[in-house]
Structure 1
Amino acid sequence: MSMFREMRRKRQQLTEEDSIAILQKATSGTLALLGDDDYPYAVPISYVYHDGKLFFHSAMAGHKVDAIRKCDKASFCVIEQDNIQPEKFTTFFRSVIAFGRIHIVEDEQEKLQMVRMLGNRYNPNQDEALQKEIESGFSHMLAIRFDIEHLTGKEAIELVRQRPHNTGE
């Protein structure tokens, strides 16, 4: 038996390809960790998706870092669309949740690759500036890797019905 539950409303489930496309397109989400005194700690954060993994950067210390060091299980949620339909009392939403294991990257080469990936995602074609930023900030920055074990995407039933292959029953 899988440790991750099945989605109740199967028709609203996105394909893995669609879910990955959302992760590739979006730039921020909410990272959920086991925080102080086992209270859930959910923090908005920028990221980059690559090859089944999410990458984040962080300051050297803080609630997030303590939580990651204490427990490596995490989830990450991205909302791609949240289009309110007041007259229908509903929302046309599309979102993705990733579950997996999260680690602070200790290896300097892997950390450097990740920092470059993040830099190129958010400041494309700024190689010189990125290099300067890395040189000045690299030692004060943590690199965090999230290995996705389970990915689930969901959309509003109205969006399912709008898809060309659906007959709308």
Structure 2
Amino acid sequence: MFYKMRRKAQELSFEETEAVLLRGTSGILALAGDKAFPYAVPLSYVYDGEHIYFHSALTGHKIDAIRQNPNASFAVIDQDEVIPEKYTSAYRSVIVFGSVRIIEDEEEKLASIRKLAVRYAPNNTEQRHTDEIERQWDRFCMLEMSIAHMTGKEGRVLAEKR
């Protein structure tokens, strides 16, 4: 179902792939959009070792697309350094394939937004997180991506350094 990596020497191990997801702070979520046009949107995220979580407005293109077709891919670029003299780049990235669901359960929503809050504001107190979450509660939803497959790859320049 999923393509195998052609350049095996550049494939990241599961641990390296997961490390990219844990380091990253943003990525591109790609969904099936309207009128056969893909819809790709940059998002902040948190990866908890099992799922990827995003927050979203309650309505809009992203929510409509997920409701029509929950299958998605999510790409994170860890490194991208252009090396003009060699006509290449030193890159490392991850692509995750899976399905996205809108979290309807309030306890699940709270648990997932707390993960996001701690990820992006780790020095804030629990009370500060709680206050901010409560202030915004009715204006956002949480999305959970279940992972079916993920791959990581780095450019030849980085692979040769290993």
TM range (shorter): over 0.9
Tell me which residue corresponds to 1:77. Answer: 75
Tell me which residue corresponds to 1:128. Answer: 127
Tell me which residue corresponds to 1:56. Answer: 54
How much does 1:57 deviate?
Answer: 0.3
How much does 1:10 deviate?
Answer: 1.0
CA RMSD of aligned residues (A): 0.8
Q: Where has structure 1 moved over 4 Å in runs of 4 or more?
A: none
1:31 paired with 2:20, answer: no
Percent identity, please. Answer: 50
Greater CA drift, 9-18 or 120-129: 120-129
Aligned partner of residue 106 in structure 1, secondary structure = coil
How much does 1:133 deviate?
Answer: 1.1
Letter in 2 for 1:78: V
How much does 1:55 deviate?
Answer: 0.2
2:115 aligns with one of 114, 117, 120: 117
How much does 1:141 deviate?
Answer: 0.8
1:106 paired with 2:104, answer: yes
TM-score (norm 2): 0.97
Q: Quick check: 2:73–2:98 contact (8 Å CA) kept in 1?
A: yes
Tell me which residue corresponds to 1:8. Answer: 6
- Distance in structure 1 (CA, Å) of the matches to 2:67 and 2:77: 27
1:88 paired with 2:86, answer: yes
Deviations 1:46-104 (A, max 9, x none): 00001221000001000000001110100000000001101111001000000001100
How much does 1:125 deviate?
Answer: 3.0
How much does 1:135 deviate?
Answer: 1.1
Greater CA drift, 127-136 or 29-38: 127-136
2:20 aligns with one of 12, 22, 32: 22
Letter in 1 for 2:123: N
Which runs of 5 or more residues in structure 2 are unaligned?
none
Which runs of 5 or more residues in structure 1 are unaligned?
164-169
Pairing 1:150-169 to 2, within 5 Å after superposition: 150-163=149-162
Name which one, 1 or 2, has greater alpha-carbon Rg. 1
Aligned partner of residue 5 in structure 1, secondary structure = coil
Aligned partner of residue 128 in structure 2, secondary structure = helix
Letter in 1 for 2:133: I
Deviations 1:92-123 (A, max 9, x none): 10000000011000111110000100000001
